[in-house]
């Protein structure tokens, strides 16, 4: 669970219990209560990996009785049984958790994020209906849902529950510029190279196709932009804007963000620097091997082991994970489990200074990848091309050294 949510959960259980009993009935009885206001809250990105894309929540307040609650679809708990295993399988469960508005704002002030409020242009019966829907969904028996980064997250759930409770159809503006899921992810991982690398390594070609305006709303910031120009159409009240007012509740604090950034562990090399640096070192070793007519077999052990482990991960994700777009990953061409099977035979052949057919097969396979790399319908990890070239150089130097010995 998010540290903030865990900190205040025990306090808020009592408040929520009372709220669940009173709010739905009160809202139904007071459909003409104009003091009930529902707003869309959009929080700017933070520095933690799970904060990089921003956040969306819904605020329900009633000026008459000081009721002011934020409904957050982004709560999760690390204490769930087998959390890591379920995360790998794409079976993470998130929940809708109510939170006092003041505590919600304190969390984002602490990390230096901005909070934008878009007051929804709802008539009193719609506000009551939406408030009831949120309170009902937040009950323990209803609050848990299966998370999907693109289709069912804190932003899409907020959008959907708004659409389900207005009297009409919400229409969003069309955009001339089309994005892909990956291009939007890249916008929010700019400056966080290793977070971007993790996405690019695991997500396949499916995230590189053009998406619709509705698909773009998986991103909190894009949802905010679309809501600004959205219209409610098709009811007796005519066509009206979805948003009545937009205001900044909390300004971003760059100094606080820098403190958060400085507190995170960092790695001095970017993925590209690491990949091309490894290739240069590998080529220098290969040149030494060719001149000495001798293979430095421990390097093969390290490279084939990590190549195979990476391949096991990609194949496992493709076959068993429910995460979106992991089954269409062309990078399995380079990172695949086969080296783990052949590793003992390669080491044995190296120790006896003998040829082994694996190197001819690997050279042909990797050379073909390098040739078609630029034409494959996927944006690749920055590591994948230098790693492919490094593995290709290992295969070629084996063929050259053992050819000289023959």
The per-residue pLDDT for range 104-128, each reduced to its tens digit, is 999 999 999 999 999 999 999 999 9
* Residue 339 confidence (pLDDT) above 60: yes
CB 52 within 8 A of CB 189: yes
CB 400 within 8 A of CB 293: no
Q: How many CB atoms lie within 10 A of CB 316?
A: 14
Average pLDDT over residues 87-103: 87
What percent of the chain stands above pLDDT 90? 71
> 50 or 212: which carries more pLDDT confidence?
212
Average pLDDT over residues 301-306: 96
Rounded to the nearest integer, the mean pLDDT of the chain is 88
Kindly report which listed range (26-40, 128-142, 362-376) carries the lowest average pLDDT score.
26-40
The per-residue pLDDT for range 184-200, each reduced to its tens digit, is 999 999 989 999 999 99
Average pLDDT over residues 266-272: 89
Average pLDDT over residues 377-404: 94
* Residue 26 confidence (pLDDT) above 80: no
Average pLDDT over residues 250-278: 89
pLDDT attached to residue 175 = 87
- pLDDT category at 83 given cuts 50, 70, 90 is low
Tokens 């290969």, residue located: 286
* 74, 122, 324, 400 from 37: Cα distances, Å: 21, 8, 35, 75
- pLDDT category at 32 given cuts 50, 70, 90 is low
Q: How many CB atoms lie within 10 A of CB 238?
A: 10
* Residue 72 confidence (pLDDT) above 50: yes
Q: Give the residue from 138, 139, 140, 174 showing the smallest Cα distance to 157.
A: 138
Structure tokens at 64: 């008459």
Phi-psi category of residue 378: left, alpha or beta, with phi > 0 → left and psi -120 to 50 → alpha: beta
d(CA 186, CA 195): 10
CB 8 within 8 A of CB 103: yes
> 401 or 1: which carries more pLDDT confidence?
401
pLDDT attached to residue 30 = 44
* Residue 334 confidence (pLDDT) above 90: yes
* Residue 346 confidence (pLDDT) above 70: yes
Which long-range contacts link 368-372 to residues 24+ away (Cβ below 8 Å)? 369/333, 369/334
* Residue 12 confidence (pLDDT) above 70: no
CB 4 within 8 A of CB 46: no
d(CA 68, CA 61): 4
What percent of the chain stands above pLDDT 70? 87
> 140 or 262: which carries more pLDDT confidence?
140
């Amino acid at each position: 669970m998010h540290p903030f949510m865990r900190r205040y959960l025990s306090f808020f259980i009592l408040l929520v219990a009372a709220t669940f009993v009173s709010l739905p009935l009160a809202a139904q009885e007071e459909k003409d209560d104009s003091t009930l206001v529902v707003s869309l809250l959009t929080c700017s990105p933070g520095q933690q990996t799970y904060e990089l894309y921003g956040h969306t929540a819904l605020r329900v307040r009633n000026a008459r009785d000081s009721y002011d609650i934020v409904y957050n679809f982004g709560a999760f708990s690390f204490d769930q049984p087998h959390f890591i295993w379920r995360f790998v399988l794409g079976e993470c469960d998130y929940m809708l958790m109510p939170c006092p508005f003041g505590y919600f704002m304190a969390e984002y002030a602490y990390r230096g994020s901005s909070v934008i409020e878009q007051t929804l242009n709802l008539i009193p019966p719609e506000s009551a209906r939406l408030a009831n829907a949120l309170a009902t969904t937040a009950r323990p028996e209803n609050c848990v849902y299966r998370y999907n980064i693109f289709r069912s997250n804190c932003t899409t759930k907020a959008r959907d529950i708004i659409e389900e409770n207005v009297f009409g159809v919400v229409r969003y503006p069309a955009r001339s510029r089309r994005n892909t899921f990956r291009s939007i992810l890249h916008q929010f991982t700019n400056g966080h190279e290793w977070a971007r690398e993790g996405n690019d390594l695991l997500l396949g070609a499916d995230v590189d196709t053009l998406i619709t305006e509705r698909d773009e709303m998986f991103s909190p910031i894009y949802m905010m932009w679309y809501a600004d120009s959205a219209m409610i159409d098709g009811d007796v009240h005519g066509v009206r804007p979805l948003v009545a007012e937009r205001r900044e509740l909390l300004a971003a604090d760059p100094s606080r963000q820098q403190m958060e950034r400085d507190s995170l562990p960092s790695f001095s090399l970017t993925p590209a620097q690491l990949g091309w640096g490894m290739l240069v070192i590998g080529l220098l070793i290969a040149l030494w091997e060719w001149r000495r007519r001798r293979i430095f077999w421990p390097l093969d052990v390290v490279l084939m082991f990590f190549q195979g482990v990476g391949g096991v991960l990609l194949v496992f994700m493709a076959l068993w994970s429910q995460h979106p777009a992991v089954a269409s990953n062309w990078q399995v061409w380079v990172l695949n489990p086969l080296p783990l099977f052949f590793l003992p035979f390669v080491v044995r052949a190296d120790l006896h200074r003998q040829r082994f057919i694996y190197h001819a097969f690997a050279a042909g396979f990797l050379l073909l990848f390098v040739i078609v790399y630029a034409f494959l319908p996927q944006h690749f990890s920055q590591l994948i091309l230098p790693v492919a070239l490094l593995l290709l150089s290992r295969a070629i130097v084996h063929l050259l050294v053992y050819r000289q010995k023959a």
